[in-house]
Amino acid sequence: METHWAHDAIFYHIYPLGLCGAPARNDFASPPQPRLEQLSAWIPHLHDLGINALYLGPLFEATAHGYDTADYYHVDRRLGTRETLARLVAELHANGIRVILDGVFNHVGRDFWAFRDVLRNGAGSPYCGWFAGLNFGGRSPLGDPFTYESWQGHYELVKLNLRVPEPRQHLLEAVRHWIVDYDIDGLRLDVADSLDLDFQRELSRFSRGLRRDFWLMGEVIHGDYRRWANPETLDAVTNYECYRGLYSSLNAKNYFEIAYALNRQFGDNGLYRGLPLYNFVDNHDVDRVASNLTNPKHLHPLYCLLFTMPGVPSIYYGSEWGLAGKRSPQSDAPLRPQLDLAQLRQNVPHPDLLADIRRLIEVRKASPALRRGSYRQLHVSFEQLAFAREFEGETVIVLLNASAEPVSLEVPVNLANGRQLADLLNSGQRFEVSNGRLRVDSVYPCWARVLSTTAHRAIT
C-alpha cells in the first residue's frame, strides 16, 4: 500500500511577514521588496536540523497580517514578486524540503479587488454574489451602506460565498497557478472548520487532479476531525486536542491528561488511527511553548513526546531554541517576530534544546514505527508515561520521565523473553525482555528513552 509523503514529514512553520520584518500594513503602492530572500539563509539550518517540509504562512497580496487577502494571484509586495517565491521554492526543493502554503479561502480582506468593486458600485456591482450575507438593507459596523458576514465578528475579514460558482472557480484557478508556477506540495487551509465543506471536496478533487500527492491539511480547533480529514476532503487537520495537553500535563504534573487524549485518538479503538494529524506545541496564533511551561527543563520531555507520538510533528520558527513570546489583547506580533539567524545563534535562550531536537528528528527518521506505527499505552503516572509503537515487525517502546530525578520503569511488552531493544536516543544502550516485561533501571530526568527492536540506519 502506497503511503503519502506526509507520514514521513518533519515540518517547520514560518510566518514570513513576521520573520522577514515586513511593514505591518501594505500601502499597495510601494515597489515589491524581495524580503522572502532572507529565508534562503535559513535553508542550511533547516537541512541540518532534519526538516523535510516547510509550511509558509500567508504570502499573497494582503492588507496587513496576510489573512486579509487582497489578491490571490500576486505575491505580497512586502515580500517580493512571483520570481522571488519561485526561486525560494526551487531552492527548498533542491535541499529536499517540500513546501506547503497557506490557503486563506474562507474570507478576504476589505481591500480584495471584488469587495472594492462592491464598495464603489453598491448593488450594481457584478460581484455582489461573491460575499456571504451581503444585504443592502442596513449598515455594517464599519459604516458601509450594506451588511455582510464576517469571520467571527471581525468585519475587516469578509466571508466569501462559496456556494456560487464564480468565487469558487477564482480560488481553484489560483491554486492551479500556485501549483504550476511555484511547484508547491500542498496547502494548509485557514479556518477549515468554518470553510464550506463542498468547496473543500471540490478543492481536493481539483488539486489532486493536478498533483496526485498534493497534501491538504486544515486548521480545525474543535469537533470530530474525521468530518474534515477523510478520503473525500482533507488528508489531515491541526491537532489542537493534543496541543494544550502536551504542555499543561507537564505544568500540572499530570501525564494522565495527555495520555487520555492519545488513547482517544490513536489507541486500539482510537478515532484517528492512521490519520497524519498535524502536531505542534506552538504556532503563529498561540503563545510560544517556552512561555507556557512553568519549568524550562520540561522543554526536553515535551519535544520527546512531540517526536514520538503518532502524527506529523512541526516546529514553529525560533522555538527550537526555546524562544519565548506571549500575545497581548491587542496584538499577535510578539508571536511573529522578525528574526536574524546569525544574531539569534549568538543569544540562544536554551542552548541545549537545538541539539536535542536534532537528535529526536534523527531517531524519528530512522524508525518506521515512530513515523507510521500503532499506539498502545503501557504505563502512566503523574510524571511518567510509556507507550509502544509498532509497524511491520518493529516495536518501539517510549519511556518519558518529566521528574527532576531519574526513575526506574518496568512495563509489559508483547515480545519474546530474551529479546533485546536498543535505545535509539541514548547511545544504543540495550535492554532485555524478561517474563514478558521490560525493565529500565534509569530513565534520565526530564528526558526519555526510545527503545527499538530493530537496529536502524538514519534515512534521508
Tell the residue number behind the cell numbers 531554541, with chain if given: 321
Tracing cell 498561540 back to the chain, one arrives at: 286
Section 437-451 average pLDDT: 97
| Averaged pLDDT for residues 65-70 | 98
User: What integer is the mean pLDDT of 148-169?
Assistant: 97
Instruction: Express as a percent the part of the chain with pLDDT over 90.
Output: 95
pLDDT digits (tens, 9 = 90+) for 218-259: 999 999 999 999 999 999 999 999 999 999 999 999 999 999
Give per-residue pLDDT as tens, 81-97: 999 999 999 999 999 99
**Which is nearest to 70 in space by CA: 4, 25, 137, 22?**
25
What is the mean predicted confidence (pLDDT) over 34-52? 98
In this structure, of 239-248, 330-339, 448-457, the range with the lowest mean pLDDT score is 448-457
Question: Looking at the predicted structure, is the pLDDT value of residue 457 above 70?
Answer: no
Angle between helices 165-182 and 82-94 (to 10 degrees): 60
Confidence of residue 404 (pLDDT cuts 50, 70, 90): very high
- The total number of residues written for the chain in this structure: 460
For the chain, helix, strand, coil in percent to 5 are 35, 25, 45
Whether the pLDDT of residue 213 is over 50: the answer is yes
Query: Any idea which fold 372-452 has?
Result: Immunoglobulin-like (2.60.40)
pLDDT for 1 beyond 50: no
pLDDT at 458 over 80: no
Its pTM stands at 0.96
pLDDT of residue 190: 98
Q: Which CATH superfamily is domain 5-108+162-369 in?
A: Glycosidases (3.20.20.80)
**From CA 188, how far away is CA 175, in angstroms rounded?**
12
Q: Which amino acid is at 107?
A: H
With a cut of 70, say whether residue 421 has pLDDT above it. yes
pLDDT band at 330 (very low <50, low <70, confident <90, very high): confident
Confidence check: pLDDT of 460 > 60: no
pLDDT in tens, 290-320: 999 999 999 999 999 999 999 999 999 999 9
- Check pLDDT > 60 for residue 286: yes
Q: What whole-number distance in Å separates Cα of residue 121 and Cα of residue 358?
A: 56
As a whole number, mean pLDDT of residues 425-431 equals 91
Q: How confident is the model at residue 427 (pLDDT cuts 50, 70, 90)?
A: confident
User: What is the pLDDT of the chain when averaged over all its residues?
Assistant: 96
User: Which grid coordinates are listed for 302?
Assistant: 515535551
> How far is 170 from 129, CA to CA, in rounded Å?
13
Calculate mean pLDDT across residues 117-142: 97
Strand-pairing partners, residue 234, are 229
Report DSSP letters for 111-151, one per residue: TSHHHHHHHHHGGG-TTGGGBTT-BTTS--TT--SSB--EE
Those residues whose C-beta lies under 8 Å from the C-beta of residue 23, and which sit 6 or more positions away, are 78
Amino acid at 152: Q
Q: Residue 255 and residue 380: Cα distance in Å, rounded?
A: 7
Q: For residue 329, what pLDDT band results from cuts at 50, 70 and 90?
A: confident
Q: What would the mean pLDDT of 340-349 be, rounded to a whole number?
A: 91
Contact 282, 231 (CB under 8 A): no
**Residue-by-residue DSSP string for 320-347:** GGT------SS-SGGGS----HHHHHHS
- Distance CA(17)–CA(35), nearest Å, equals 9
Closest residue by Cα to residue 357 from 313, 290, 303, 424: 303
Q: Beta-strand (E) ranges in 193-297?
A: 215-218, 236-237, 278-279
Q: 3-class SS at 434?
A: strand
Give the pLDDT confidence score for residue 456 in this predicted structure: 56
Check whether 118 has a pLDDT greater than 90.
yes
Which pLDDT score is estimated for 2? Answer: 58
Using the structure block, give the residue that is written with the C-alpha cell 499597495: 28
Give yes or no on whether 5-108+162-369 and 109-161 have one common fold: no
Q: Is the pLDDT of residue 207 over 60?
A: yes
Whole-number Å distance between alpha carbons of 86 and 90: 6
Rounded CA-CA distance 40/268 in Å is 43
Q: What is the pLDDT of residue 266?
A: 98
**Single-letter code of the amino acid located at 420:** Q
The structural domains of the chain, with segments of one domain joined by +, span 5-108+162-369, 109-161, 372-452
Q: Each residue of 15-37: pLDDT tens digit? A: 999 999 999 999 999 999 999 99
Looking at CATH, the fold of the domain delimited by 109-161 is given as Oligo-1,6-glucosidase; domain 2 (3.90.400)
